Amino acid sequence: VTRAGARLGKGEGFAELEYGILRWMKAIDADTPIVTTVHDSQILEDDEIPVDKLLEHDVPVDIIVTPTQVIYTNTKIPKPDGILWHKLSPQKLAQIRILQTLKQRLEREQGYPLPTGPDEV
């Protein structure tokens, strides 16, 4: 994580999916603070996670809490609007029952299929 609010997770995307679901549910919005806890040694220089390298599903953090400090990032990095169906692989969708149910419901209500992301390799 950087002081600019750029955050990289473990690469599985579950935190981003949870964020997207909460946005879709309108339980949170773009102004809801996103907080992370890390060790001081996990704070990287801003150029180590360049903002222009972040992907549209990456969720920036507003507050970083370490054992020794609280950092308010004042991030300007945009947060995703909701579930990015076009990024969600069939394999990931198969792992998360609530997303399967939600996708089926939305497709039924809208009368057309939602996009699906590429297969995982």
Same domain, 65 and 113: no
How far is 75 from 57, CA to CA, in rounded Å? Answer: 16
pTM of the predicted structure, to 2 decimals: 0.83
Number of domains observed in the structure of the chain:
2
* Domain that residue 104 falls in: 84-121
- Model confidence at 20, pLDDT cuts 50, 70, 90, reads very high
Distance from C-alpha of 59 to C-alpha of 8, rounded to nearest angstrom: 8
- CATH number, domain with residue 44: 3.40.50.10420
Nearest to 45 by CA among 96, 3, 99, 100: 3
Task: Residue 60: name the closest of 85, 84, 31, 89 by CA.
Answer: 31
Residue type, 56: E
Looking at residue 26, its amino acid is K
Same domain? 71 vs 48:
yes
Share of the chain above pLDDT 90, in %: 76
Q: What sections of 1-121 are H helices per DSSP?
A: 14-24, 90-95, 97-110
pLDDT at res. 74: 95
Residues 59 and 117 grouped into a single domain = no
